[in-house]
Every structure is written in structure tokens, then in C-alpha cells.
Amino acid sequence: MRRAMSEPDVQAETLVETLQLERLEVNLFRGQTPDNQPGRIFGGQVIAQSLLAAYETVEDRVCHSLHCYFIRPGDPTVPIVFEVDRSRDGGSFTTRRVVAIQHGQQIFNLAASFQVVEDGFEHQLPMPAAPSWRDLPDEAETRRQLMKDLPDDAKKWMDRHRPIELRSEDARTYFKAGTAEPQSVSWIRCRDPIGADFRMHQVILAYASDMNLLSTAMRPHGVHWQTPGFQSASLDHAMWFHRPLNFENWHLYDQDSPSASGGRGFIRGSIYAEDGTLVASVAQEGLMRLRKPK
């Protein structure tokens, strides 16, 4: 199994444009991958496009949760077909199931629930203390510095435009040896304008929610993405949207990994607006396997 691929290059268009779907039938849609090079589709892209496909069959309701499974590696050289099952339209809640298909096989499925907007009880845990995004470097620049001595092809890959800006003191594990606590805090936002459509702010946050999670689970074990024999991949992903958001602004992504066992790592995430409002929560389990050289 190949390791998870980083988010694709979308320099020629905004992320809103990249994620758009073509309607083939009433409940059938087709999406493209912008970086159609050999490898693997970034998991956040499939989450985002599946949520968008579900939204295309829902009116006047807001997604409050989604649960999904990564079944097969996505092929970036061919389109993805998204089939939506209109599971239920209730008085307050709407449920949709989306299956992503390539080469005649499921590569991913998602279940999402949508709710009529209503008032209710309110509470949340406070946002953890963290350095301001203003005092941290863009992760893309940090990555370029780490990769400056690599071959030209590798440097070109690392220099690609990244649609999500990420700032952290120690966000991802590329080549760094040693161990650390299974926790990470980073600031994230969409680099390009999203617009006024609240659905796209959720969709693009779902895209970004797949970033850095497995890196957090890797920290205690002294492995990084280039460790010989190391294999990783997202297995499942869940997300809950608590409050409205504007993902053109900075959000704090607080992650911890309470457990790793059986070749899998489990990670939790909380996403806060800069004013401390908890807008979303995330959970993911991923493959973490170290194959010893023969």
C-alpha cells in the first residue's frame, strides 16, 4: 500500500473551481483531480467532493456530521463518479450516502446528515493556548528549506502551489528523527477566496481536515514519511460541524493521538475560529505499519 499523497497542485484555478462537480444524472456526479500524475488522490479531495455531491441533493439544510471510509487508493489519472443515495428526508434531518467509484469499484463512501438550522443549548471547551499565526512561517516555505538539497524533481514537487495555508511550529513529519508527544497545533486557512456560499466553506474545511492527522500519530514512534519500510494511509474519517465558519480566515487545528495499536493510529482534532469559537471536530484512524527490510 502506498503512503497517503499530499494535497494536489491547483495553481491554475482556485480550490472552489477544482472541487466542482459535473451532474451526469439526478443523483450522479463526476469530479476531476487537478494533479493527474501517477500516485494517489489526496483523501481530503474525495471527502470534499463527496460532501459537495450530497449537498447537490439537499435544500435549506446544513451538514452537521459526516462519516466515511477509504476503501481503495484513488487514481488521479481518471475522473471519479459520485453516486448519491437519498436515504431519508425527515422533518428536521436529511441523510445522504455517497459512493465514489473508479474503474467500476468503490474507492470511498460517505454518510452525511443535514439539519434544519435551529437554536438550542450552547457550550464548548475553550481553545487551547497557541502561538499566533502571525508569528509562524508558512509551512510551504519551511518545507522548501527542508528539501533544498533534494534532486530537482523532488524540489519541483515540493514547490507546488498548496491551496491550504498551514502554519505551525512543528506541523508535519518529513525527515525529522526522534520522538515527541502525540500532539500538534497548527493554523490553517484557504489561500484563495471561497465566496458567500456556506456549503463551500464546509466543503473546503472538510478538504483541509485530512491534513497532518497521521503525522500527529507518528510522533511517538520516531518515524517519518521517508522512513524505509514505513506505510501509511487514512482508513476512516469522521467530522462534526458545530457552528458557522468562514474558512477564508485563520482557524486553529488542535490534534492529539490517544492511541496506536494493531498497525493503526487514532487521531482526534478540534478546529477553532481565531476568536476561540469551536466550529468543528474531527476523528480519524489510519494505517501505520513499519515493514522491516528482508
Predicted confidence (pLDDT) per residue in 195-248, tens digit: 999 999 999 999 999 999 999 999 999 888 778 889 999 999 999 999 999 999
- Does the pTM surpass 0.85? The reply is yes
Q: Which residues does the annotation mark as catalytic? A: 210, 234, 284
Supply angle C-alpha 41, 51, 60, rounded to 5: 160
pLDDT for the residue 1: 30
Instruction: Count the neighbouring beta carbons within 10 Å of the beta carbon of residue 47.
Output: 26
> Rounded to an integer, what distance in angstroms lies between the CA atom of residue 141 and that of residue 214?
21
Comparing CA positions, the residue from 101, 96, 128, 119 lying closest to residue 46 is 101
Report whether 25 contacts 188 (CB < 8 A): no
Q: How confident is the model at residue 143 (pLDDT cuts 50, 70, 90)?
A: confident
Q: How confident is the model at residue 158 (pLDDT cuts 50, 70, 90)?
A: low
Comparing CA positions, the residue from 284, 280, 289, 267 lying closest to residue 223 is 289
User: Domains in the chain, ordered, with CATH?
Assistant: 15-117+134-290 (2.40.160.210)
pLDDT for the residue 157: 55
φ, ψ at 144 (rounded to 5°): -60, -40
Comparing CA positions, the residue from 264, 265, 267 lying closest to residue 255 is 267
> Rounded to an integer, what distance in angstroms lies between the CA atom of residue 109 and that of residue 3?
20
Supply angle C-alpha 28, 283, 115, rounded to 5: 50
Side chain identity, residue 61: R
Q: Is the pLDDT of residue 56 over 70?
A: yes
> Rounded to an integer, what distance in angstroms lies between the CA atom of residue 84 and that of residue 70?
17
User: Helix (H) and strand (E) counts for the chain?
Assistant: 6, 12
Q: Is the pLDDT of residue 11 over 70?
A: no
Report whether 272 contacts 205 (CB < 8 A): no
> Rounded to an integer, what distance in angstroms lies between the CA atom of residue 78 and that of residue 76?
6
Q: How confident is the model at residue 9 (pLDDT cuts 50, 70, 90)?
A: very low
> Rounded to an integer, what distance in angstroms lies between the CA atom of residue 207 and that of residue 190?
10
Q: Is 52 in a helix, a strand, or coil?
A: helix
> Which helix (H) or strand (E) element contains residue 16?
helix 15-18
Class of residue 91 by CB neighbours under 10 A (exposed 0-12, middle 13-18, buried 19+): exposed
pLDDT for the residue 136: 92
